[in-house]
Amino acid sequence: QQQVKQSPQSLIVQKGGISIINCAYENTAFDYFPWYQQFPGKGPALLIAIRPDVSEKKEGRFTISFNKSAKQFSLHIMDSQPGDSATYFCAASPQGGSEKLVFGKGTKLTVNP
C-alpha cells in the first residue's frame, strides 16, 4: 500500500522556469512532510520540510505548499537552474513513535540550459 503518491515521475523544465512536483497522502496521522533531493551517486539530503500547522514554507527558491484538507503538498522550484537537476522525493512521517519516513516514488527533474 503506497501511502504517499508523487507525480510526475519525470519533469523537464527550461532554465528560469518553475518546477512543480506534487504529493498526496492518505494517513491523517502524518505530521511531518519533508522533501529530499538526491544527486546521482549521492544519498538523499533534506531540502525543506513542513508541518501541517502552516500552509506554506519558503527557503530561497524552494517553496512547499501544504493543503491539509486535501491531504496534498507540493514543491515549487522558482527560477529553476541546471544545478537543480536531481531526483526529488517527498515523504511523510507520523507524530510520535517510530518517526518512520514513508517516501514517494520520486521525480527526476531535468533543467535544460
Partner 1 sequence: DADVTQTPRNRITKTGKRIMLECSQTKGHDRMYWYRQDPGLGLRLIYYSFDVKDINKGEISDGYSVSRQAQAKFSLSLESAIPNQTALYFCATSNPPTDREQYFGPGTRLTVT
Q: Does 101 bind partner 1 (CB under 8 A)?
A: yes
CB closer to partner 1, 29 vs 78: 29
- Which residues pair with residue 91 across a beta bridge? 103
- Smallest gap from Cβ 41 to partner 1, in A, equals 8
Q: Decide the pairing of beta strands 10-14 and 107-112.
A: parallel
Site residues for partner 1, window 9-28 (CB under 8 A)? 9
Q: Is 41 left (phi over 0), alpha (psi -120 to 50) or beta?
A: left
Q: Which residues, numbered 29-68, are part of the site for partner 1 (CB under 8 A)?
A: 32, 34, 41-46, 49
Least Cβ distance, residue 66 to partner 1 (angstroms): 16
Q: Which of 19, 3, 46, 47 is nearest to 108 (CA)?
A: 19
Q: Report residue 82 CA to chain centroid gap.
A: 18
Q: Kindly list the residues in this chain that would bind partner 1 in the complex (CB under 8 A).
A: 6, 9, 32, 34, 41-46, 49, 89, 93, 98-101, 103-106
